[in-house]
A and B are shown apart, each in its own frame.
Chain A
Amino acid sequence: MKEKLDTVSATDRKMLIGLHLGNGYGSQSGAWRMPWVDRQQSVTVVIPMRSSTFQD
């Protein structure tokens, strides 16, 4: 989960956006069963790391 704190004036106020990763698969209960999802996702460290660098 990433977020950025911004202390600028009210007119230049920017939104904070954080990412909820949850169990690693997604917020919907059927997420892990989707054919394009890797079953190992929630036990593998590599895949969550990919998710957290998406803004680079």
Chain B
Amino acid sequence: MTTIAKDRRSALDRRIRLGGDQFPQRIGYLQQMIGIQLDPLRMNEPLSKAQLNTARPSRYDPRSDNALKIAKEGWTLRDILAHGVIDYHPVIVGPGIEAADHMQEWFEAGAADGFWISADVNSDGIDAFVDEVIPVLQERGLFHKDYEGKTLREHLGVPDQYGLDPRV
């Protein structure tokens, strides 16, 4: 799930604009993920040293380690949530190179053969991904530069068959 912007701060601001009004509700779950009490009236503050020392990632949610890691980087509570730590899929918040690096890491480790990209806002997010991330992947030799054929059928290697009878 991507928010591609020129830097981390602009990407976070964009995500805050898109969903910031739901953050107070998410604090409840974030609390459970990292095992400490969080105050919805202190969204503009980073977590205190005491809080971070007490925090422990929950064993029951695999996203908890990442959430705590982001919290320890010193982001404010609002910014921690803007990183998409509770989103259902890995979130990219920043310049295109971060998406390329993440995808490369997972691909080369054999964790995935590919990815579904889900842009935050389709009307400009898809273009941002295509313009900023795809060229980097192509340059690194990870993504094809051209299609094999002219039609979707050719790209997928699907034979010409209309129905059950393979002669047709």
Q: What is the CA–CA distance of A28 and B20 in the complex, to the nearest angstrom? A: 11
Q: Are A31 and B156 in contact (CB under 8 A)?
A: no
Q: Are B116 and A38 in contact (CB under 8 A)?
A: no
Known: A15-B103, A18-B114, A54-B130. A24 touches B142 (CB 8 A): no
Q: Are B117 and A16 in contact (CB under 8 A)?
A: no
Q: How far is the CB of A10 from chain B (nearest CB, A)?
A: 10
Interface SS of chain A:
loop
Within 8 A of B (CB), among A1-43: 1-7, 13-22, 24-31, 34, 36-38, 41
Q: How far is the CB of B151 from chain A (nearest CB, A)?
A: 12
Q: Are A17 and B114 in contact (CB under 8 A)?
A: yes
Known: A16-B113, A17-B143, A54-B126. A26 touches B119 (CB 8 A): yes
Q: Can you list 25 A-B pairs with a CB-CB distance of less than 8 A?
A: A3-B114, A15-B113, A15-B115, A15-B137, A17-B114, A17-B115, A18-B116, A19-B116, A19-B117, A25-B122, A26-B118, A26-B120, A27-B119, A27-B120, A28-B15, A31-B18, A31-B121, A34-B17, A34-B18, A34-B121, A36-B123, A36-B124, A37-B123, A41-B122, A41-B123
Q: 19 other contacts beyond A1-B116, A16-B113, A25-B122, with CB at 8 A cut-off?
A: A2-B152, A4-B156, A5-B155, A6-B144, A14-B144, A15-B107, A15-B115, A15-B142, A15-B143, A18-B114, A28-B121, A30-B17, A30-B21, A34-B18, A34-B121, A41-B122, A47-B123, A51-B126, A55-B130
Q: Are B125 and A26 in contact (CB under 8 A)?
A: yes
Is B1 positioned at the interface, with any CB of A under 8 Å from its CB?
yes
Is B19 positioned at the interface, with any CB of A under 8 Å from its CB?
yes
Q: Are B117 and A15 in contact (CB under 8 A)?
A: no
Write out the residue numbers on chain A whose beta carbons fall within 8 Å of the beta carbon of B156: 3-5
